[in-house]
Amino acid sequence: MLDFEKPIRELERRIEELRELAGDSAELQAEIARLEEALHGARRRIFTNLTPYQRVQIARHPERPNFQVYRDALADDFYELSGDRLYGDDAAVRGGLAQVSGHDVVLIGHDKGADVKSRVAGNFGMAHPEGYRKVGRLYRLAGKFGLPLVLLVDTPGAFAGRQAEERGQAWAISEDLMTLASVPVPVISVVIGEGGSGGALAMCLADYVGMLENSYLSVIAPESCASIIFRDASRAPEAAEAMKITAKDLKEAGIADEIVPEPLGGAHRDPQATVGAVRTSLERVLTELKDADPQALLASRYERYRSIGTYAEAPGSAL
């Protein structure tokens, strides 16, 4: 239960208690109806006026649908491919051959897990170098066989421990970026939760970037930014506001192409509806890009990323 959700939870608890007691009581039924109306109003008031940091909290919700939920719902067939052919396999990122809405693709995503055991096994979605080398291997495989890449991003960031640096974390991520820049197939990326740091960037250099309404994409977590800039991690809400990391911010900046809607309250409130919205976007984009000329695709991708950060000078202005 997130702090700003407590008024909602209190109303839900009260309604549950009254339903147990109501029976045929018209008076209690009327009170339940009144509280349900208040609950609906509270949900709409709170969730249509979320701050950037509150959206970050929703993106991190432990019940938010993870990669396995999307994989099982989106892929008519999925054949997982494991290992980096150098060190080992990393459960924090999974991928393989799949069919999505009739399109043969390579489907890859961060996997945070669904319970304590799987979350620990997958390091809470924070991949090691071998995970990103596995990702790079699958990128090259997609290029070799002409299969579009569908990438589902949900990570706090790449693992930042000493072992990761010793095994070449930065090199593995930079190699992935170089491969994505040159792979001659459509690259479709959707941020389904957290999009943290280089761990997310390694799967975001794409021809299309979609973001769920309550996802975020940032070079650093708000808490870490606040610790560095303000020397106070408790100022994370202020940092999140300044960093412009929400889907709305990134759509306005031209980095994200589409904001994929979520149910009121977040994806965890209705995972099926959320997955359905992602499926609709993927179907449209895969259809649009399936016949794209490889060289035109690469040229367009190059121009896309060269243009990020450019601005137009107002007439008559002076530097």
Q: Do 141 and 18 share a structural domain?
A: no
Average of per-residue pLDDT values in the chain = 92
**pLDDT tens by residue, 207-226:** 999 999 999 999 999 999 99
| Residue 280 domain-assigned (yes or no) | yes
The whole-number pLDDT of residue 4 equals 82
Same domain, 61 and 16: no
Query: Cβ atoms within 10 A of the Cβ of 91, count?
Result: 18
Confidence of residue 151 (pLDDT cuts 50, 70, 90): very high
Looking at the fold, whether 218 and 301 belong to one and the same domain comes out as: yes
Q: Do residues 172 and 138 share a domain? A: yes
Residue 317 counted as domain residue: no
Task: Let me know whether 30 and 63 are in one domain.
Answer: no
Let me know if residue 115 belongs to a domain: yes
Say if residues 212 and 267 touch (Cβ distance below 8 Å).
yes
Task: Say yes or no: 28 and 78 in one domain.
Answer: no
For residue 48 the two structure tokens come to 């249509």
Instruction: Count the domains in the chain.
Output: 2
Query: Is residue 317 scored above 70 in pLDDT?
Result: no
Same domain, 8 and 151: no
Residues spanned by the domain of 22: 3-49
Is the model's pLDDT at 250 over the cut of 80?
yes
Cα distances (Å, whole numbers) of residue 6 to 55, 202, 303? 16, 36, 46
Domain boundary among 49, 64, 79: 49
**Residue 319 placed within a domain:** no
Q: Based on the fold, state whether residues 13 and 125 are members of the same structural domain.
A: no
pLDDT score of 1? 67
Which CATH number does the domain housing residue 264 bear? Answer: 3.90.226.10
43 lies in the same domain as 123? no
Considering the domain architecture, whether residues 67 and 208 belong to the same structural domain is answered as yes
Q: What is the 3-state secondary structure (H, E, C) of 200-258?
A: HHCCCCCCEEEEECCCEEECCCHHHHHHHHCCCHHHHHHHHHHHCCEHHHHHHCCCCCE
Q: What is the 3-state secondary structure (H, E, C) of the chain?
A: CCHHHHHHHHHHHHHHHHHHHHCCCHHHHHHHHHHHHHHHHHHHHHHCCCCHHHHHHHHCCCCCCCHHHHHHHHEEEEEECCCCCCCCCCCCEEEEEEEECCEEEEEEEECCCCCHHHHHHCHHHCCCHHHHHHHHHHHHHHHHHCCCEEEEEEECCCCCCHHHHHCCHHHHHHHHHHHHHHCCCCEEEEEEEEEEHHHHHCCCCCCEEEEECCCEEECCCHHHHHHHHCCCHHHHHHHHHHHCCEHHHHHHCCCCCEEECCCCCCHHHCHHHHHHHHHHHHHHHHHHHCCCCHHHHHHHHHHHHHHCCCCCCCCCCCC
Cα–Cα distance between 60 and 202 in angstroms, integer?
A: 20
Residue 224 included in any domain: yes
pLDDT tens-digit map of 8-61? 888 888 888 888 777 777 778 888 888 888 888 888 888 888 999 999 999 999
Assigned domain for 316 exists: no
Q: Do 120 and 39 share a domain, yes or no?
A: no
Whether residue 319 is predicted with pLDDT greater than 60 in this model: the reply is no
- What pLDDT shows up at residue 318? 57
* Percent of the chain at pLDDT exceeding 70: 98
- Residue 163 and residue 128 in contact, taking contact as beta carbons nearer than 8 Å: yes
C-beta of residue 188 within 8 angstroms of C-beta of residue 226: no
Question: Is 273 in contact with 263 (CB distance < 8 Å)?
Answer: yes
Share of the chain above pLDDT 90, in %: 75
Q: How far does CA 282 lie from the centroid of its chain?
A: 14
Give the model confidence (pLDDT) of 110-128 as tens digits. 999 988 999 999 999 999 9
* 127 belongs to a structural domain: yes
Residues 125 and 30 both lie in one domain: no
What pLDDT, on a 0 to 100 scale, did the predictor assign at position 184? 96
For the stretch 58-82, pLDDT in tens is 999 999 999 999 999 999 889 999 9
> Residue 12 has what pLDDT?
85
In a domain, 200, yes or no: yes
Of the candidate ranges 3-7, 198-202, 249-253, 288-292, the one whose mean pLDDT is the lowest: 3-7
Q: Which of 49, 68, 83 is the last residue of a domain?
A: 49
- Rounded CA-CA distance 253/59 in Å is 20
pLDDT at 2 over 80: no
Burial of 21 (0-12, 13-18, 19+ CB in 10 A): exposed
pTM: predicted TM-score of the whole model, two decimal places:
0.89
- What's the Cα-to-Cα distance from 195 to each of 9, 77, 201, 208, 255, rounded to whole Å? 28, 26, 8, 15, 13
Residues 2, 60: Cα–Cα separation, whole Å: 10
